[in-house]
Amino acid sequence: MKKGPWMIVMCEWIWKAITANVCWIAFTLLGLGVFGFFPATVALFTIVRKWLRNDTEFRVWKTFSEVYFKEWKRSNGIGLVFYSIGLFLFIDIRITEVFLSGVFGSFLSIILYILAFILLITVGYFFSLYVHYELSNKDYIKQSFIITLTSLPTTIWIGVGLFMIGYLINQYPGLLLFISAVAPAYWMMKACLSRFASLEKRALQH
């Protein structure tokens, strides 16, 4: 982005963020939610990654739509794997809550909820991996789980940021349309780029 008066620059960034957020909502709905979420989120992470790498001279809407349609089939194919795991955990949680009680039921419920939380974090890492590296579908899923289980400090940092964003939106619901997707994606991508750089440096040293 060209330099200019700070007020103009700030307004341009706000407009870009709002545009990206509205694009994510619109394209997610275009895919009827289930089939729009993964390609729309891939497109959103692609855009915030560009911003974080100082690539800002592009049209958000055009880039978003191009990535969305290009990655629709592949991202949804991987998404079906995550959806299946999520559905399996959801069914297990419901069965546990309805048919099991006592200490064992409570213990199993806690384990299942922890696994569900790990799945959510893994999906977040998946989007960052997907737009940053070129891997096979199988490796995207495998590496997402590996990074989730071996990157506790980064995961905690991401969790703190998402909590703060969620708290802000809860206090000011009007922000939902403007930052509900782009702010979490930006925060996660920023944290993940730092983690990826650390892993790449460590790999080169060995």
pLDDT digit string (tens) for 141-200? 999 999 999 999 999 999 899 999 999 999 998 888 889 999 999 999 999 999 999 988
Looking at 10-168, which runs of residues are DSSP E strands? none
Range of the domain at 94: 6-205
Is 40 within the bounds of a domain? yes
Share of the chain above pLDDT 70, in %: 98
55 in a structural domain: yes
Of residues 1 and 4, more confidence is placed in: 4
Rounded Cα distance between 72 and 129, Å, is 16
What is d(CA 13, CA 7) in angstroms, rounded to the nearest whole number? 10
24: nearest Cα among 170, 182, 188, 132: 182
Does 1 map to a domain? no
With a cut of 80, say whether residue 1 has pLDDT above it: no
Residue 102 pLDDT greater than 90, yes or no: no
Q: Tell me what the pLDDT averaged over the chain comes to.
A: 92
pLDDT band at 4, cuts 50/70/90? low
Q: Is residue 205's pLDDT more than 80?
A: no
**Residue 95 covered by a domain:** yes
Q: Which band of pLDDT confidence, cut at 50, 70 and 90, is reported for residue 203?
A: confident
134 in any annotated domain: yes
> What is the pLDDT averaged over residues 71-100?
94
Asked whether residue 126 carries a pLDDT value surpassing 60, the answer given is yes
Residue 121 lies in a domain: yes
Compute the average pLDDT of residues 90-110: 88
Could you tell me if residue 159 is inside a domain?
A: yes
Query: Does residue 167 form part of some domain?
Result: yes
> What's residue 47's pLDDT?
97
* Cβ neighbours of 22 (radius 10 Å): 17
CA atoms within 13 A on the CB side of 152: 0
Between 102 and 23, the higher pLDDT residue: 23
pTM reported for the whole predicted model: 0.92
- The pLDDT tens digits of the residues spanning 58-77 come to 999 999 999 999 999 999 99
Q: What is the pLDDT of residue 201?
A: 87
Number of domains in the chain: 1
Residue 163: CB atoms within 10 Å: 10
